[in-house]
Structure formats: C-alpha cells, structure tokens
C-alpha cells in the first residue's frame, strides 16, 4: 500500500481508504508493509521482516543514516542503544539526538513501515490525523514496541557484478553485498529526479539496472531497437551515445553524453545532448546544444536551440530548478 487510504478514486467514485480497510479486514494478514511511491532503491524486504520479527516489534521503520545537518529537512527518529525509537519528529529545527555511537549522523525516515496488522488498524482508528510522521507514529511510541531499521547498515543485495582484470578480461563475480545495497533517493523534486537519472549513467553507475538476481522490471512498448547513424568524420556528422542509456525506438545522429533517452527520441545531426533526461517522443533538432536539462514528452526542439548554457536565458523561457536544471514542459515545442 502507498498511503492510499488518503486518496480518492474519481473514476469509480470509491474512497480507497474504505477499500483498503475492507481488504485488510477480509484477508487479515499478520503484518502490513507500507511503501512510498516516489523513492528509488533496492531493498531486501525479507531481511527487514526478519528483523521486525526478531525484535518482537509492533512497528518497524526503515531509516536512512544521514548527516545531522539534514535533520531539519526530514523526519528524524531518536533511538536508544537497542534501536528502539524513543522520539520521532518531522523536520525538527532544534538539536536532535544522533545515532548512538555516531555523533555526526541521524536516522531519517524512508517512508517504509512494517506494522503488525492489529496495531495499524488500532492506530488508524484512534488517531486524530492520518499523517504517519506527525500523527500515527508519535502516538504509538509510548505504548507500542517501535524499532528503527538502519537501512545502510542492514540492507543487503546479493548479485553478480562484472569485473575487468589487468589483462582486460571481464568476468562475472557474485557479490554478497553490491554497492547499491545502500542506495536510496527520494525523487519527489525535479532536482532529485534528475540526480536519480544521472545515477544510472556511467561505466559503473551508482544504481545498477543490470542486476541478474535483482532485475528491474519496467513498462515495455513495441518499438524497434535504438539506431545510431552516419559516420562522416570529416564534418563530425556521427551518431554516438557515450556513458548513456538509450531506450528502444531512438535514432541518434548527433552526440549524446551522460544522458538518458526514453522511447522514440530522435537526436538529429550535429546536435549535442549532455547530462540530460529526454522523455518519450522528443526530437532534438540539428545543431541543438542541450546540457543539464529535463525535456518532457512530445517536444520538437527547433534546430539550433541552446538550453543549459545561459542561466539568464533559461530562466526567461523555462522552469529552472535550484540546482540549475532547465525543465522543458510537455509539448512546449510542437
């Protein structure tokens, strides 16, 4: 469930809160796992569940170890030496208790909760509000066993990685805990969304989409393979994509670096795209220069357009994020 008891299904005229309650009452699962929908991570929920059971917890919250300077931006759990949560505050402005034995970091909520079903139903029925951080969790701390699960310490993703030896030979090796076992991003802002996409690029990406034991399943459309055309080195007319992800249906005759191209993107001759996310059905015209941008669907960027090189001009035409990412809204260029 993704906090869906606060949403309304307009098509069916049905309150999802009521539907959720009915389903829970009908199936009576022993535990309920609640997740947020705008986060990117890989989590071994089996380990999380085992930890919850071993602690005899009524509620276990997965938390991210972050620098204490970020405490005012997140929900922070204060814990004792046994990782039992003693206090939980949303975006505290004053000093907070750091992780025991670690004076530089605090535990920030990831929006991942594992409840005993009876405890969740009781909490929803008695709470004056439906916000987890502000209402439900604080009301449970004194009377229920609520524990922290330090994600980066305990999460473990076992998978294969490719290793290149000194002789240049690549071999596949099973790692008990791959690097993105500790990866987590909230993609609820445009800057965070851009960052998460850039984390997919490069030779050794921070977040790996190519796992064997932990594959990433996504939506597929009927589209031909990506195609890279022209090789006229004399006038630099050549289709290349370097350290980038290119989806099916794309046709590239320009230069793409450290970028993500979604389905059916066309990058025309002599265009350059760098550190950008290009959504479905976008055409990048000839001689365009695009850098540090998010271009939404169904845009035909005119020949010679420059985005991401002149902040003053970008602010006049587009939304620009605090980090300086230029955002071209859906259908801005037809």
Q: How many CB atoms lie under 10 A from the CB of residue 300?
A: 14
Q: What are the E-state strand segments in 139-223?
A: 146-150, 159-164, 170-175, 184-186
d(CA 290, CA 275) in angstroms, rounded, equals: 8
Residue 8 shares a structural domain with residue 150? yes
**Residue 206, in any domain of the structure:** no
Which pLDDT score, from 0 to 100, does residue 230 have? Answer: 92
Q: Which residue, 123, 154, 185, sits at the end of a domain?
A: 154
**Residue 180, in any domain of the structure:** no
Residue 129 shares a structural domain with residue 234? no
Helical (H) or strand (E) element with 28: none
Q: Are 66 and 76 in contact (CB under 8 A)?
A: no
* Domain interval for residue 292: 227-328
Q: How many CB atoms lie under 10 A from the CB of residue 187?
A: 16
Residue 122 shares a structural domain with residue 9? yes
Q: Are 102 and 59 in contact (CB under 8 A)?
A: no
Residue 231 shares a structural domain with residue 144? no
**Residue 172, in any domain of the structure:** no
80 phi and psi angles, rounded to 5 deg: -90, -170
Encode 154-176: b = buried (16+ Cβ within 10 Å), e = exposed.
ebebebebeeeeeeeeeeeeeee
**Residue 165, in any domain of the structure:** no
Residue 130 shares a structural domain with residue 266? no
d(CA 311, CA 255) in angstroms, rounded, equals: 22
Q: Which residue, 121, 154, 187, sits at the end of a domain?
A: 154
**Residue 88, in any domain of the structure:** yes
**Residue 208, in any domain of the structure:** no
**Residue 202, in any domain of the structure:** no
**Residue 214, in any domain of the structure:** no
Residue 34 shares a structural domain with residue 125? yes
d(CA 313, CA 198) in angstroms, rounded, equals: 24
Q: Are 107 and 76 in contact (CB under 8 A)?
A: yes
d(CA 206, CA 273) in angstroms, rounded, equals: 21
The CATH number given to whatever domain includes residue 13 is: 3.90.550.10
**Digitized pLDDT (tens) for each residue of the chain, 334 residues in all:** 333 334 444 444 455 567 777 788 788 899 999 998 889 999 999 999 999 999 999 999 999 999 988 888 888 999 999 999 999 988 887 778 889 988 889 999 998 999 999 998 888 877 666 677 777 888 899 899 999 999 999 999 999 988 888 898 989 999 999 999 999 998 989 999 999 999 999 888 999 998 899 988 888 889 999 999 998 776 779 999 999 999 999 999 999 999 999 999 999 999 999 999 999 999 999 999 999 999 999 999 999 999 999 999 999 999 999 999 999 999 999 8
Residue 12 shares a structural domain with residue 133? yes
The CATH number given to whatever domain includes residue 286 is: 2.160.10.10
d(CA 99, CA 120) in angstroms, rounded, equals: 26
What's the structural domain count of the chain?
2
Q: Which residue, 154, 170, 191, sits at the end of a domain?
A: 154
């Amino acid at each position: 469930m993704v906090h869906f008891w606060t949403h309304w299904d307009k098509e069916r005229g049905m309150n999802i809160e009521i539907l959720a309650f009915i389903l829970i009452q009908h199936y009576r699962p022993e535990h309920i796992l609640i997740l947020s929908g705008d986060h990117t991570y890989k989590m071994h929920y089996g380990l999380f569940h085992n930890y919850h059971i071993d602690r005899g917890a009524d509620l276990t919250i997965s938390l991210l170890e972050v620098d204490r300077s970020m405490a005012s931006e997140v929900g922070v759990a204060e814990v004792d030496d046994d990782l039992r949560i003693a206090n939980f505050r949303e975006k505290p402005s004053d000093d907070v208790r750091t992780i025991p034995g670690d004076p530089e970091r605090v535990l920030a909520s990831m929006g991942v909760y594992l409840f005993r079903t009876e405890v969740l139903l009781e909490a929803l029925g008695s709470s004056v509000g439906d916000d987890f951080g502000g209402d439900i969790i604080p009301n449970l701390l004194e009377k229920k066993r609520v524990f922290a699960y330090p994600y980066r310490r305990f999460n473990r993703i076992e998978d294969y990685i490719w290793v290149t030896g000194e002789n240049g030979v690549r071999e596949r090796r099973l790692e008990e805990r791959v690097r993105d076992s500790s990866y987590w991003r909230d993609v609820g802002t445009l800057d965070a969304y851009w960052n998460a996409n850039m984390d997919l690029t490069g030779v050794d990406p921070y977040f790996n989409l190519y796992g064997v034991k932990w594959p990433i399943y996504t939506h597929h459309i009927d589209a031909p393979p990506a195609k890279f055309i022209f090789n006229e080195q004399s006038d630099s007319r050549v289709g290349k994509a370097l350290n980038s992800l290119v989806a099916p249906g794309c046709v590239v005759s320009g230069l793409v670096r450290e970028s993500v191209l979604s389905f059916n993107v066309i990058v025309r001759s002599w265009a350059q795209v760098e550190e950008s996310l290009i959504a479905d059905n976008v055409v990048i015209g000839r001689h365009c220069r695009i850098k540090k941008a998010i271009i939404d669907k169904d845009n035909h960027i005119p020949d010679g357009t420059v985005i991401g090189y002149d902040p003053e001009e970008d602010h006049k035409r587009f939304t620009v994020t605090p980090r300086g990412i230029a955002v071209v809204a859906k259908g801005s260029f037809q």
